[in-house]
A = this chain, B = another copy of it.
């Protein structure tokens, strides 16, 4: 029996890179959370402690900040691809680089009906992100959104399910459906108008959540994913992780009060957790696109 190093990865996580564009009085802001990691032939670093092949995580951090100025920050996918290529060039032992970027959205503060030049307020409505894996000669882009909290107050049921001796759930054809959606989609290639694609996919996910009459969260997610694949040939597959944030109808009958779907208690735990992939038959091989990302987002 011999012991050896298996899969490995190292990097700097959660660099909070803030870039201000101030070439004109009307500033722009890009507010990122950047995590980088390298993987490859780093056996010596582990087995003997010899660090000659190791580009320090501190250097990775420096590069992330320097590139924000040197290369600028366009779409987060581009910035991540550029960083990934750089790390492979700088680190001969690396076989792959994984760059994850979250972007926080800001709106201009309104003053006299106009957006202010250099003052901003953080918005909600989901956090855009990307995970880019670069290998020598290959690049994979998985982009997505997290923390997209949505709710429909009707148009959702759950019935006809399998029953056993531990089943107590009543069937319903009218309930609240709510989730804090995580969606990630894999692009077929890197020849994409990233910002436009993101905006359209987000809008489509929301629209389908709204308009699909839900027989289960599974069916809603599948419908949302199918719509994205149909409208976006550049998307190979899409994965969802969606907590079913239960809203329980409160029993007001002890107080002589009816409650026809009007008063709910929002519960924390436990919650349903629905995870699914929707893919197309002719999708390309995912390669390392999902490297070190949990199976379902």
Please report whether the interface of chain A is mostly helix, strand, loop or mixed according to DSSP.
Answer: mixed
Is A15 in contact with B270, judged by CB distance below 8 angstroms? Answer: yes
> Which residues from 84 to 115 on chain A have a C-beta closer than 8 Å to any C-beta of chain B?
90-91, 106-107, 109-111
Q: Mark A163-189, 1 if CB is under 8 A from B, else 0.
A: 111111100000010000000000000
Segment at the interface with B among A74-82, A135-143, A192-200, A208-216: A208-216
Min CB gap A46→B, angstroms? 4
Selected contact of A16 from candidates B37, B111, B270, CB within 8 Å: B270
Copy total for this chain = 4
Expressed in whole angstroms, the Cα–Cα distance for A259 and B14 within the complex equals 21
Interface residue A289 (Cβ < 8 Å from any Cβ of B): no
Interface residue A191 (Cβ < 8 Å from any Cβ of B): no
Is A106 in contact with B151, judged by CB distance below 8 angstroms? Answer: yes
Is A222 in contact with B65, judged by CB distance below 8 angstroms? Answer: no
Is A59 in contact with B216, judged by CB distance below 8 angstroms? Answer: no
Size of interface on A: residues with Cβ below 8 Å to B? 146
Expressed in whole angstroms, the Cα–Cα distance for A18 and B271 within the complex equals 17
Expressed in whole angstroms, the Cα–Cα distance for A90 and B269 within the complex equals 24
Interface residue A287 (Cβ < 8 Å from any Cβ of B): no
Is B120 in contact with A50, judged by CB distance below 8 angstroms? Answer: no
Expressed in whole angstroms, the Cα–Cα distance for A182 and B265 within the complex equals 27
Is B162 in contact with A257, judged by CB distance below 8 angstroms? Answer: no
Q: Mark A57-81, 1 if CB is under 8 A from B, else 0.
A: 1110111011011100000000000
Is B118 in contact with A152, judged by CB distance below 8 angstroms? Answer: yes
Q: Using CB atoms, name the residue of chain B closest to A215.
A: B49
Q: Using CB atoms, name the residue of chain B closest to A259.
A: B69
14 contacts between A and B (CB under 8 A): A4-B278, A6-B237, A8-B218, A13-B243, A16-B269, A52-B161, A56-B169, A62-B168, A63-B166, A65-B265, A68-B262, A110-B203, A118-B154, A121-B125
Given A7-B295, A20-B176, A119-B210, 10 more pairs with CB closer than 8 A: A1-B281, A3-B229, A7-B277, A8-B277, A46-B221, A54-B162, A65-B250, A121-B150, A124-B125, A293-B294
Q: Could you tell me which A residues sit within 8 Å of B by CB distance?
A: 1-22, 27, 29, 31, 35, 37, 42, 45-59, 61-63, 65-66, 68-70, 90-91, 106-107, 109-111, 116, 118-126, 148-155, 158-169, 176, 203, 206-207, 209-211, 214-216, 218-219, 221-222, 225-226, 229-230, 237, 239, 243-244, 247, 250, 252, 254-255, 257-259, 261-282, 291-296
